[in-house]
Amino acid sequence: EIVLTQSPGTLSLSPGERATLSCRASQSVSSSYLAWYQQKPGQAPRLLIYGASSRATGIPDRFSGSGSGTDFTLTISRLEPEDFAVYYCQQYGSSFGGGTKVEIK
């Protein structure tokens, strides 16, 4: 079973700053199967990125995904107040990473 490890666990940043979130797999993952989700308190997760780098419908272009093999990255170019949330990566049909909380500094 592939294990996804996200880092850091918590990212403390100010609005307008850049956020870089990491997702590392214990073995190679097909990019087609790597997705990123955003979750806010009391809400269901929301799809942000699929296929490692494609934005889902309605997702602002400040969100971008990259990577391949075992190392994947979600970047938020300039944090907006509504971006403070928890972010998860997942290999479709398998486990999620432990999540990264992006909090206001």
Residues near other proteins (CB under 8 A) are 1, 31-35, 37, 39, 44-47, 50-52, 54, 56, 88, 90, 92-99
CB of 30 to other proteins, least distance (A): 9
CB of 15 to other proteins, least distance (A): 25
Q: Find out whether 73 and 21 touch, Cβ atoms under 8 Å.
A: yes
Helix, strand, or coil (residue 3):
coil
CB of 12 to other proteins, least distance (A): 19
Please identify, using beta-carbon distances, which residue of 25 and 35 lies nearer to other proteins: 35
How many angstroms separate the CA atoms of 25 and 71, rounded? 7
Question: What's the Cα-to-Cα distance from 44 to each of 76, 86, 87, rounded to whole Å?
Answer: 20, 11, 12
